Amino acid sequence: MVYGYCRVSTKNQSLKRQVDALITYGIKEENIYVDEISGVVLKRRGLESLKNVLNAGDTLVVKEIDRLGRNRKQTTELIKEFIEKDIEIVALDIPYLKEFILKEIKREKGFMEITATTMLSLLLEVAEQERNKILERTKEGKEKALEAGVKFGRKQKLTRQKFVRTYNEMLKDERTPREIQEKLGICKQTYYNYKKRYIK
């Protein structure tokens, strides 16, 4: 059986890109396990549920290898756990992982096994650094946007009180409906809906 796993570590990230990649690979949606916000420790509902259904000979597919764990150490521990249970691992971002690295780790200890383990550690280190860079760039971009006056989050709902107050104030100044709409940041239809409902 082939299963997929996806994880995002913040509320602002979306699982769609990962899920779409796994479905394109050929995994049934019901066989894809997800964790939207990971905890401080490795235990996660989606991951734990997945581990309960995985059996020897099954294949686990992830879009990016670092999605398995929160950091290099956790990811390495999970990979070794899956190898010991005879579960194949496919990482779509590293197509050669299974054939040239995990295959050698499975063999008896020797030079190639040590080399493969070192390569895996290096790959995970690079993936971790790339992830940290992305998070840092996102943070910097958000900070610059906030400095420029960009607002994040859901738009605040226009209250009756605010609409009536703004409407009356601007009407006194002989402002047009269009100017009132722009001031309140609403469309024409919303303006007339509010006017019909609240202006007597």
Is 9 among the residues known to form the active site?
yes
N-term to C-term CA, the chain: 66
The Cα diameter of the chain in Å comes to 86
Q: What radius of gyration, in Å, describes the C-alpha atoms of the chain?
A: 26
What does the buried/exposed string (b/e) look like for 158-176 if buried means 16 or more CB atoms within 10 Å of the residue's CB?
Answer: eeeeebeeebeebeeeeee
74 burial (CB, 10 Å; 0-12 / 13-18 / 19+) is: middle
Q: Which one is catalytic: 9, 14, 49, 121?
A: 9
Residues annotated as catalytic are 9
